[in-house]
């Protein structure tokens, strides 16, 4: 995070704008809307700003800037086209520890004025750290269309009810949060968005009076598929639950970018597994899920790919069911789908493969054992999860059981992420290619004639993103 986001309360606070042009006018308008007392120093003012000065909305010092002008100011904005003056304003503020912004010069800013979506008291600020303000405005325009004015009403009503909710639930922060999550997504929200604030407030009061303490304090576990790594491939349901969790257990295949989307104050527990190196044995993970839920917590078990495809999700929900813990499984894009799409390798194709089989290369007692004869059909695609370390034996066994040595094969490392790597070879050559390129997990192996399409489809994708 390059800058620290915050909102300043400038009600009746002294602020200074240096400059009297159109840019200064816009900054004064923003400060006045926040309730600030605005002083402007400039030899001349544009017409609208001069009118404000005549009406007493701003205080105008009709002269050039002087260093003492910043004394006593909460915030200073330099909005002139005079570089030496802007630099002097910044230096004077720095010497006195005053927040300063020099318009269009990020290097001389202690704060950034963001693009703003105003649904007061709800506000959304968008910033690029001063690097691309046009992009921030573009994003603001898109978000404006998604946020009805009624959200401001809903925020105001929630504020009006805040003390009553706190009195009702006391120090039970979890129950308070769950009440608000339910209330702000229910009928009251719809009424507020429709413009009926009285009905919305009455509905909130009714929900508060009828709140069930037992239900609000009940724990639950959500097994959430995090997909193959790219945050854009998360489901809406997954993201929503990640933002509501009290605690999140995540494994080795969940990318850091996805973990960053978890609610900021949720507890995060790493339970990842690597070959012969388990942060927490599976039995302990199962027991921990039960314990956390029985403590009344909302638990998200974040799993790479899909929980039910080599994710051991079935084992975890068996334990939950045996202990009477409520649970839900949220599917995710499995790694086979993500890797094949991003590598340009269709898993099925009318001319190349009429079926696909997913297997795991995870070994038991040091040896990979699969139904080798079953995997030799030339019209079938085989996708091997967790098979990089066993690639030599995997390819050797497939060839010895009848699959052609020149069958196309690929390995996709860190699929769907910017650092994705794809190696194309054959059953005969892939193990050596993996060793030479030092491919490490997470990686997926795809075997079958569909791999021959990779160059053609990867070329198309490159053209589309060029």
Q: Which two tokens stand for residue 418?
A: 């910017």
* Closest by CA position to 427, among listed 385, 378, 386, 365: 378
In 194-343, which ranges are continuous DSSP H helix?
197-209, 213-216, 236-244, 256-259, 282-294, 313-322, 335-343
The reply, when asked if residue 1 is annotated as ligand binding, is no
Quickly list DSSP for 16-72: EEE--SHHHHHHHHHHHHTT-EEEEE-S---HHHHHHHHHTSEEEE-S---GGGGTT
Q: Of the candidates 347, 375, 350, which has an alpha carbon nearest to the alpha carbon of residue 361? A: 375
Q: Could you tell me which of 269, 229, 266 has the C-alpha nearest to residue 249?
A: 269
43 is in an annotated binding site: yes
305 annotated among ligand-binding-site residues: yes
364: which DSSP letter?
B
Residues forming a β-bridge with 268 = 248
Task: Tell whether 69 is in a known binding site.
Answer: no
Confirm or deny that 22 is annotated as ligand binding.
yes
* 415 annotated ligand binder: yes
The C-alpha atoms of residue 206 and residue 224 are separated, in whole angstroms, by: 33
State the Cα–Cα distance between residues 465 and 325, nearest whole angstrom. Answer: 46
Q: Which residues are catalytic?
A: 251, 273
CB 247 within 8 A of CB 220: no
Nearest to 27 by CA among 10, 4, 6: 10
Tell me if 214 is assigned to a ligand binding site.
no
386 is annotated as contributing to ligand binding: yes
Q: Which residue is listed with tokens 């576990």?
A: 221
What is the rounded distance in angstroms from the CA atom of residue 267 to the CA atom of residue 39?
A: 46
- Which residue in this structure is represented by tokens 């070994």? 363
**Secondary structure of residue 223 in the 3-state scheme:** strand
How big is the chain, counted in residues? 466
> Which residues does the annotation place in the binding site?
22-23, 43-44, 228, 304-306, 309, 386, 415
> Which residues does the annotation place in the binding site for S-adenosyl-L-methionine?
228, 304-306, 309, 386, 415
> Which residues does the annotation place in the binding site for NAD(+)?
22-23, 43-44
């Amino acid at each position: 995070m390059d800058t620290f986001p915050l909102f300043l309360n400038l009600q009746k606070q002294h602020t200074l704008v240096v400059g009297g042009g159109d840019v200064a006018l816009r900054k004064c308008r923003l400060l006045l809307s926040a309730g600030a007392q605005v002083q402007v120093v400039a030899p001349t003012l544009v017409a609208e700003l001069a009118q404000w000065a005549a009406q007493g909305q701003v205080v105008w010092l009709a002269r050039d800037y002087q260093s003492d002008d910043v004394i006593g100011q909460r915030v200073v904005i330099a909005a002139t086209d005079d570089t030496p003056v802007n630099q002097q304003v910044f230096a004077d503020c720095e010497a006195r520890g005053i927040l300063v912004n020099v318009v269009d010069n990020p290097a001389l800013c202690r704060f950034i004025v963001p693009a703003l979506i105003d649904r007061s008291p709800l506000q959304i600020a968008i910033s690029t750290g001063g690097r691309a303000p046009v992009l921030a405005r573009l994003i603001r325009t898109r978000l404006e269309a998604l946020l009805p004015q009624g959200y401001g009403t809903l925020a105001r009503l929630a504020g009006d009810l805040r003390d009553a909710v706190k009195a009702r639930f006391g120090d039970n922060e979890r129950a308070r949060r769950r009440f608000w999550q339910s209330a702000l997504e229910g009928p009251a929200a719809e009424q507020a968005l429709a413009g009926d604030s009285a009905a919305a407030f009455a509905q909130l009061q009714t929900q508060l009076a009828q709140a069930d303490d037992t239900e609000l304090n009940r724990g639950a576990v959500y097994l959430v598929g995090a997909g193959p790594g790219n945050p854009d491939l998360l489901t809406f349901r997954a993201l929503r639950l990640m933002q509501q969790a009290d605690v999140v257990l995540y494994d080795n295949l969940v990318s850091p970018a996805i973990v960053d989307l978890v609610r900021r104050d949720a507890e995060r527990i790493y339970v990842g597994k690597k070959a012969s190196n388990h942060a927490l044995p599976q039995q302990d993970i199962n027991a921990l899920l039960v314990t956390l839920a029985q403590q009344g917590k909302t638990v998200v078990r974040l799993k790479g790919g899909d929980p039910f495809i080599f994710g051991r999700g079935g084992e975890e929900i068996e334990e939950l069911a045996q202990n009477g813990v409520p649970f839900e499984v949220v599917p995710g894009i499995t790694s086979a789908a993500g890797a094949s799409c991003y590598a340009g390798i269709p898993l099925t194709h009318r001319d190349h493969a009429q079926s696909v089989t997913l297997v795991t290369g995870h070994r038991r007692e040091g040896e990979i054992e699969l139904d080798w004869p079953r995997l030799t059909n030339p019209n079938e695609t085989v996708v091997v999860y967790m098979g990089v370390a066993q690639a030599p034996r995997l390819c050797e066994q497939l060839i010895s059981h009848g699959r052609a040595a020149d069958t196309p094969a690929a390995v996709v490392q860190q699929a769907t992420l910017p650092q994705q790597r794809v190696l194309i070879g054959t059953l005969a050559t892939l193990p050596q290619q993996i060793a030479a390129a030092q491919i490490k997990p997470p990686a997926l192996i795809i075997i079958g004639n569909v791999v021959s399409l990779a160059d053609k489809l990867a070329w198309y994708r490159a053209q589309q993103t060029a």
